[in-house]
Structure 1
Amino acid sequence: MKPNEKIKNLRELNDWSQEKMAEKMQMSKNGYARLERGESKMSLERLAQIADIFGLDIIELLTKDYERAIFLVNGQSTAEGNINYYSNNELELFSLQSEIEKLKLIITHKNELLAQKDKEIELLKKMNKQGNLSLED
C-alpha cells in the first residue's frame, strides 16, 4: 500500500473528513486532497506531520505492507533455498536512511546532554572543594 493510500485509510478509520485533516495540517482542503490522491509529492516534513497526527512512526507510512516479489535464482526452483526475496529497494533504502538520520540526531543530543552533565559535575566538585557547596538536604 502506498503512503497516500495508508493516509486515506487512517483518515477514514478516524472518521475524519478531508477538510478536518487539512485543518490539522494547516493547509487547504484541495492541497490535502491532492496529497491523498498521490497527485502531489509529499515532503519528509509533511510525512512526519501526518505520522504525528496519527501517532505513528514515519517509517510506518513509508514501508509497504508485505509487498514482495519472488524471483528464482538461475531458473531453479529447488527446495535448497534458491529463492530470493526482493522488495521495493528504493523505498526501503529511503526509510532506513531516514531512520539512521533520526538515530544520529538522538545520539548527538544525548552526547550533548552527557557533556553538559560532566561540566556540571566538575563545577560542583570545584565548588565543594572551595567550601561553597553544602551537600546537606
Structure 2
Amino acid sequence: METYEKIRLARELNQWSQEEMAEKLEMSPSGYARIERGEVRLNIERLEQIAQILNVDISDLIQKDINSITIQIKDSDNNQNIGNVNVFHENLSEIEKLKLIIQHKDELLEQKTQELNMIKEMFELLKQQIKNQS
C-alpha cells in the first residue's frame, strides 16, 4: 500500500472528510486531494504533520509493503538468465489496514466508556435530586 493510500485510509477511519483534513493541515481541499491521489511528493515535514494529525507513526505511513520479490539468477558472465525465483510475503497492506481499524475501534470504545461514565454520574445526580425532593 502506498503512502497516499495509507493517509486516505487513516483519514476515513477517523471519519473525516478531505475538507476537514485539509483544514487541519491548513491547506486547500484541492491541495489535500492531490496528496490522496498520489500526485504530490510529500516532504518529511508534511509527512510528520499528517502522521501527528492522524495519530499514527510516520514510519507506518512511509513503510513500503513487500508483496513479492523476483530474483533473477544469471550466469557468471552476466549474459544468460538462468531462472527466476518468486518469493511471496504476507499481504502487509491488509495487516496495516487491520491495525488502523483496531486502533480506531479502541479509540471509539474509550470514547463510549467515557460517555457511559458521564451518564452514570448524571443518573446518580438525578437520583439524589429526586431523593432530596421527597
TM-score (norm 1): 0.51
Relative to structure 1, the CA distance from residue 76 to residue 38 in structure 2 (aligned partners, 3 Å threshold; closer, same or farther) is: closer
CA distance in 1, matches of 2:86, 2:44: 31
CA distance in 1, matches of 2:65, 2:38: 18
Contact 1:48 1:58 in 2 (8 A): yes
Among all aligned residue pairs of Structure 1 and Structure 2, give the percentage whose two residues are the same amino acid.
49
Q: Kindly report structure 1 stretches of 4+ aligned residues shifted beyond 4 Å.
A: none
Counterpart secondary structure, 1:73: strand
What are the superposed Cα offsets for residues 38-88 of structure 1, whole Å, 9 maximum, x if unpaired?
Answer: 1122111111111111222211111122333131434357xxxxx696xxx
Aligned to 2:41: 41
How far the C-alpha of 1:22 sits from its partner, in A, is 0.5
Opposite residue 23 of structure 1, the aligned amino acid is E
Please identify which structure carries the higher strand content: 2
Aligned to 1:65: 65
What are the superposed Cα offsets for residues 5-54 of structure 1, whole Å, 9 maximum, x if unpaired?
Answer: 11111111111100010011111111101111111221111111111112
- Residue ranges of structure 1 left out of the alignment (5+ in a row): 78-82, 86-137
Cα RMSD over matched residues? Answer: 2.0
- Residue ranges of structure 2 left out of the alignment (5+ in a row): 75-81, 88-134
Opposite residue 42 of structure 1, the aligned amino acid is L
CA distance in 1, matches of 2:35, 2:83: 43
